[in-house]
């Protein structure tokens, strides 16, 4: 806590006086923080920055952390949005994922939060892993709809290098992920969300009308952000910086009043590629005028490179905005990478 507060103070000029519209307490597990600790951090931020009166302030939480007393204390803070890591409503799947909570806790945590007055809730779900049959996936989505949460984030299971799961797959102790299964479950997800009136406003995110995550939307739109804590990343349009991941080194640096970050100045191509990667994922699409504002003539080059995706129906254009079609959303990362400037 002392280190976090110190870093907030040291980084006070990073946003260059911009009004803070969103604050996000992200994972790890920030719901382990007490209400008093959250208030200390928020007080430090509001003391050093101009924070909008209607700022969106989100706390990520595990379902098992959201017992009644905890929620009551959170209501006494400025937290006004909860991101609940449900992942699945099946105990065997949660055990396979090494999650601490049970399916019943996932459901009851949402209901308790709603009863306590938290209406702005987002829930996380994972698909595309071996245990998740299509019947299970449909059940998970139906349960989300029954709980009436206004925002859902969904992620295809990925295997990161040097993790236990990667080792188990390599040793044939676990089956590999199935790309076809992930694609089919993603298609079902898009159809089910649309039928329930959700907007698919970013590849992994769905919301009821007007219930976008303002924090994540700003990220995809290229708004500057400041990250605090070990491994946290920051971005201001001209540079990117990231904090040391090692907790001990993070603490040692801040004890010396040193910012524990490395800085990378973004080249013109970096800025073009950053915009391509983030904008194509969204319902707002890629603005060719903005691309040209970064580098004159870049829109013509991108349109030429994208022609084959227009031809096969993966990209569509309206005026000066290009979007991924529903079919194109299945290949979002690959399309963006193929359009990068080098």
Q: Provide the percentage of residues in the chain whose pLDDT is more than 90.
A: 89
Q: Three-class SS string for the chain? A: CHHHHHHHHHCCCCCCCCCEEEEEECCCCHHHCCHHHHHHHHHHHHHHCCEEEEEEEEEEECHHHCCHHHHHHHCCCCCCEEEEEEECCCHHHHHHCCCCCCHHHHHHHHHHHHHCCCCCEEEEEEECCCCCCHHHHHHHHHHHHHHCCCEEEEEECCCCCCCHHHHHHHCCCCCCCCHHHHHHHHHHHHHHHHHCCCEEEECCEEECCCCCCHHHHHHHCCCCECCCCCCCEEECCCEEEEECCCHHHHHHHHHCCCCCEEEEECCHHHHHHHHHHHHCCECCCEEHHHHHHHCCCHHHHHHHHCHHHHHCCCEEEECCEEEECCCHHHHHHHHHHHHCCC
**pLDDT tens digits, 132-167:** 999 999 999 999 999 999 999 999 987 777 777 667
What confidence score (pLDDT) does residue 172 get? 74
Which pLDDT value is given to residue 50? 96
Question: Rounded CA gap, 265 and 239, in Å?
Answer: 4
List of residues 6+ apart from 254 with CB closer than 8 A: 2, 3, 6, 7, 10, 260
The mean per-residue pLDDT over the stretch 243-255 comes to: 96
The model's confidence at residue 329, banded by pLDDT at 50, 70 and 90, is very high
Provide the pLDDT confidence category of residue 28 given band limits of 50, 70 and 90: confident
How much is the pLDDT for 157?
A: 84
How large is the average pLDDT for residues 76-101? 94
17: alpha, beta or left, given left = phi > 0 and alpha = psi -120 to 50? left
Q: Residue 177's pLDDT band (boundaries 50, 70, 90)?
A: low
Smallest CA-to-CA distance from 302 within 289, 284, 312 is with 289
- CB count within 10 Å of CB 1 equals 11
Maximum Cα–Cα distance across the chain: 58
Q: Looking at residue 166, what is its pLDDT?
A: 66
Domains of the chain (ranges; CATH) run 19-220 (3.30.750.200), 233-265 (no CATH), 268-339 (1.10.10.920)
- Return the pLDDT at 175: 73
Average pLDDT over residues 102-111: 96
Q: How confident is the model at residue 298 (pLDDT cuts 50, 70, 90)?
A: very high
Cβ(35)–Cβ(74) under 8 Å?
A: yes
pLDDT of residue 174: 77
Contact 87, 93 (CB under 8 A): yes
Does position 193 have pLDDT exceeding 80, yes or no? Answer: yes
Chain segment 163-173, per-residue pLDDT in tens: 776 677 777 77
Chain Cα centroid distance, residue 51: 21
């Amino acid at each position: 806590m002392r280190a976090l507060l110190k870093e907030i103070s040291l980084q006070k000029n990073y946003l260059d006086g911009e009004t803070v519209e969103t604050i996000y307490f992200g994972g790890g597990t920030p719901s382990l923080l007490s209400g008093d600790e959250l208030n200390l951090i928020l007080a430090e931020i509001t003391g050093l920055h101009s924070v909008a009166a209607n700022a969106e302030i989100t706390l990520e939480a595990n379902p098992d952390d959201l017992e009644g007393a905890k929620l009551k204390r959170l209501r006494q803070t400025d937290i006004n949005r909860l991101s609940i890591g449900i992942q699945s409503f099946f105990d065997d799947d949660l055990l396979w994922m090494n999650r601490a909570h049970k399916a019943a806790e996932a459901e009851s945590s949402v209901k308790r939060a709603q009863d306590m007055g938290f209406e702005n809730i987002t829930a996380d779900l994972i698909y595309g892993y071996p245990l998740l049959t299509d019947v299970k996936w449909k059940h998970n989505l139906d349960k989300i709809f029954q709980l009436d949460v206004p925002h859902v984030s969904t992620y295809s299971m990925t295997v990161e290098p040097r993790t236990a799961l990667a080792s188990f797959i390599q040793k044939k102790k676990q089956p590999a992920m199935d790309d076809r299964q992930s694609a089919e479950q993603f298609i079902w997800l898009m159809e089910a969300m649309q039928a329930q009136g959700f907007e698919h406003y970013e590849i992994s995110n769905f919301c009821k009308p007007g219930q976008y995550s303002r924090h994540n939307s700003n990220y995809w739109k290229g708004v500057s952000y400041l990250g605090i804590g070990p491994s946290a990343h920051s971005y201001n349009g001209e540079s990117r910086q990231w904090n040391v991941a090692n907790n001990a080194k993070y603490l040692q640096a801040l004890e010396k009043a040193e910012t524990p970050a490395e800085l990378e100045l973004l080249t013109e191509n970096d800025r073009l590629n950053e915009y391509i990667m983030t904008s194509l994922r969204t319902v707002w699409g890629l603005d060719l005028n903005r691309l040209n504002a970064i580098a004159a003539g870049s829109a013509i080059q991108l349109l030429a490179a994208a022609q084959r995706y227009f031809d096969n129906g993966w990209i569509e254009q309206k005026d000066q905005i290009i979007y991924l079609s529903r079919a194109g959303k299945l290949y979002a990362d690959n399309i963006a990478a193929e359009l990068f400037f080098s």
